[in-house]
Amino acid sequence: MRSSQKQRQRLSLRQKSYLATRGLVLEQPVSDFGILMDRFAAGSIVAEKHARADPSGDTWNGDLDSFADAAESTPAELIVDELLDRDLIDDSQVECARFVASDLDERGFFVRQVSRYAFSIDSTATEVRRVLAAIRTLEPAGLGATDVAHAFALQMSRVLPELPVAACAQFLRTRQRSVSPGVVRACLKKLGTECDSATLQRILTELDPEPAKRMTSGQPRIIAPDIIIEQDSLTGTLVCSIPEPAWRLAIDPMVVSSARKDPEARKQVLTEVTRVRWIDDAIAERTAMLARLGDALIALLAPYLTNQSSPPSRVPVEHLMQATGMSRTVMVRALRRKYVKTPRGIFRLRSMVMDRWQTAAAPAKEAVALLLQSGTDSKAMSDREIAEHLADQGIHISRRTVAKYRLSLGIPAQYFRSN
């Protein structure tokens, strides 16, 4: 009874260790593999870190300075990358975040009316507000504000988190010409917030009417791609390659041989050897997984990658799952923190994939918009009649779905359209 219980506990520990290591390796960027190997080898009595032999010399040896490209980043790209890294937006909000970040003015403010802007980019006002709320949490403080007073209120809230931003901005709009220490004191006094001299000094150092100028725009950043798609110089075909880490884990034979005589040491060494083999298997699985992703991108985006077409619509995640044979869970983990080097530049892998909801909704939503904007006959059609009309065209959606798409497009109901 006792041995079977220990066996179950040992099996559970091995499974947890395997899953944790496997998930870590699948999400690990290529440039961070050295740190992973160092940490594992330092805490292991069996594993050793060795340089991987590369006779060809054509692939990356793990040195960032010898391989990685310097990619120019616009402020909009920096904002979207930061939102993705901090998990402030999901896949369905990436496209909206791109539009909003690119439409910030030179000061970093969003001065457009949200409802009209949402209709112009084929999104919802709620989604635009969520993206703006996420941008306003980034550094420098004040990005995404509607005006200077709103930016000052956001910057003051970084020092005083309990400060009501809307009320503070409303007060500062009456004093925009001069935001002096006296104005800040009067604003905080009216809002019932205590402020000493040290806090006031911190607030004054945070105030900046043009927060976008503090962004590191235009500076190159080093990116180590996880997938490399290149065009063959002779045949012109696209070829995918996966850079492997320049290190490998080896088992120290001296430690293994010295533990053969001691049963307790033998168990510990066997456990360590199993963990080393798990990491090697996980790295091999990661390489094969990324290779399937690269081949799928070549098959789905070949005209764009070879400069034969304009920027494409993003690859539907369902098509990518069918082409690679991955489940939804594995696909989400595979897209995380990965970059692709292509003949047209370096892209974040996640930015090239369209979420499943967008894939299903885009054709139906476009069909509803075209039908309602086609002519006078569509003005007298109810939501149920629109659903029946689209069903004749092979687009099967419910009446409630038609109403949802119509509201997101800013189109009123039948009564208001016909009258």
- What backbone phi and psi angles, to 5 degrees, belong to 348? -75, 130
Cis peptide before 311 (omega within 30 of 0): no
Which pLDDT score is estimated for 376? 60
d(CA 387, CA 330): 35
Answering whether pTM is above 0.85, one says no
Helix (H) or strand (E) holding 417: helix 414-418
Residues 341-397 have pLDDT tens digits of 888 777 778 777 765 444 456 667 777 777 776 666 666 788 888 888 888 877 778
Percent of the chain with pLDDT over 90: 2
Domains by residue range for the chain, with CATH: 2-65+224-353 (no CATH), 75-214 (no CATH), 356-418 (1.10.10.60)
Nearest Cα neighbor of 279 from 95, 29, 41 is 41
Nearest Cα neighbor of 301 from 283, 286, 323 is 323
Consecutive 10-residue averages of pLDDT for the chain (419 residues): 53 57 73 75 80 53 43 69 78 80 84 84 85 87 86 86 86 72 82 79 78 61 80 87 80 79 80 81 86 90 76 71 83 82 81 59 72 70 86 80 77 73
- Output b/e per residue, 286-314; b: 16+ Cβ within 10 A: beebbebbbbbbbebbeebbbeeeeeeeb
